[in-house]
Amino acid sequence: MDGILPIYKEAGMTSHDVVSKLRRILNMKKIGHAGTLDPSVDGVLPIALGKATKTIEFLQETGKTYTGEITFGIATTTEDMDGEVIETQQLTTPFPSDKILAGMHELTGHITQVPPMYSAVKVNGRRLYDYARAGETVERPKREATIYEFKMTSDPVFDEKKGTQTFSFLAKVSKGTYIRTLAVDLGKQLEVPSVMGQLTRVSAGGYDIKQARHLEDIAQRMEEEGTLGDWLMPLSTAVDQYPHVALTDAQWDRIKHGIGQPASLFEPITEKIVLTYQGDVKSVFAWRPDKNQYRAYRTFSIE
C-alpha cells in the first residue's frame, strides 16, 4: 500500500498513537505522519504509507486550517486549557466585536512568534516542554509564520460572573504556526490575558476533514474487505502543489539513470517540479542554479 490516508485523530491520542495503531491494523511498518497534533487537539492527520513516506516533507509544506475558541481574561502555562492558570484579569465590560476583529487583522499576514514553553521545539538538544516540566526557563527562538486568514466565526459571549469573553475562530496558516500562541498574541493586542480553548484541525496537507477516516472504520474495512480501497489517496495528491511534467520515453530513460535535465524541461524555471511517466509519479526534481539544471530531489520509483 503506497499512498496517503487522511486520519481523523480524536482528542486524547498522540499522533504516535495513531501510527502505532495503524501499523497493527494494516500489518505494515512503513508508516509516517505529517504534522503532529497535540493530544488535546482533534482533526486531520495525514498518514503516509509505503513509498508515500517520502512525501511527508511536501505534505508539511502546505498550509493548515483550524477552528477553535479563544477566551479573554485568563492565561495558562501551556497557552491552552490543559495548563495551570498563571494569570487572570476579570473583564468588567466585553470587548466590542470590531475591536477584536481589528486585533485579528493586525495578526494577519507575515508574523513572528515565540513558541510556547510547552512545545516540541528543541533548544540545545532538549525539547522546550522538558525544560518547562523541570521548572527551567530558556531563551526561545523566534519563528516566522504566515497567517493567511484569521476571522471570528461566532458572536463573542461575555460571562459576567467569571469576567471572561469567548468566541469561535477560523485560522488558515502556514507550516510552523502555533495556534495557541496566536490566541495569546491576540490577547496581547487587546492588553488582556488570553488562552486557546477547544481546537480542531479541519485541513492539512491538502486533505479536508470530510476525507479523514476514523481508526475503527479503517479496522472494520480491513477486516471485511482486506483493502483500503478509495480511502487511500494516490501518492500524487501529496505533491499536487507543484507543476507536473509528463515525460517521454527518451526523457524517462535519461532521468532514471540519474541524468539532470535542462531548463527547457519546464519553463519558466520553478523551484520544484513533479515528473510523471505513463501516468505514475516518479520523482520530484528541483532547479539547481549551480548546475543550471533540474536535478533529482526526491525519487519515488525508477521502475
**Catalytic annotation, residues:** 38
Q: How confident is the model over 199-254, as pLDDT tens digits?
A: 999 999 999 999 999 999 999 999 999 999 999 999 999 999 999 999 999 999 99
254 and 171 share one domain: no
Strands 42-49 and 194-204 turn out to be parallel
159 and 56 share one domain: no
Determine the average pLDDT of the residues in 270-283. 94
Asked if residue 72 has pLDDT above 90, the reply is: yes
Q: How confident is the model over 45-71, as pLDDT tens digits?
A: 999 999 999 999 999 888 899 999 999
101 and 33 share one domain: no
The pLDDT of residue 126 is 83
Split into its structural domains, the chain has a count of 3
Contact 7, 51 (CB under 8 A): no
- Measured CA to CA in angstroms, residue 250 lies from 13, 28, 247, 253, 286 at distances of 49, 36, 8, 5, 20
155 and 198 share one domain: yes
For position 166, which CATH number holds?
3.30.2350.10
56 and 132 share one domain: no
Contact 209, 15 (CB under 8 A): no
69 and 36 share one domain: no
The pLDDT of residue 144 is 92
Q: What is the mean pLDDT of the chain?
A: 93
For CA atoms 106, 112, 117, 120, give the dihedral sign: positive
Q: At what angle do helices 215-225 and 15-26 cross, to 10 degrees?
A: 10
Residue position matching grid coordinates 507543484:
242
Q: How confident is the model over 164-206, as pLDDT tens digits?
A: 999 999 999 998 899 999 999 999 999 999 999 999 999 999 9
98 and 141 share one domain: yes
For position 274, which CATH number holds?
2.30.130.10
Structural domain boundaries, residue 274: 242-299
Rounded to two decimals, the pTM is 0.90
139 and 231 share one domain: no
Asked if residue 26 has pLDDT above 80, the reply is: yes
- How far apart are the C-alpha atoms of 183 and 188, rounded to whole Å? 9
93 and 156 share one domain: yes
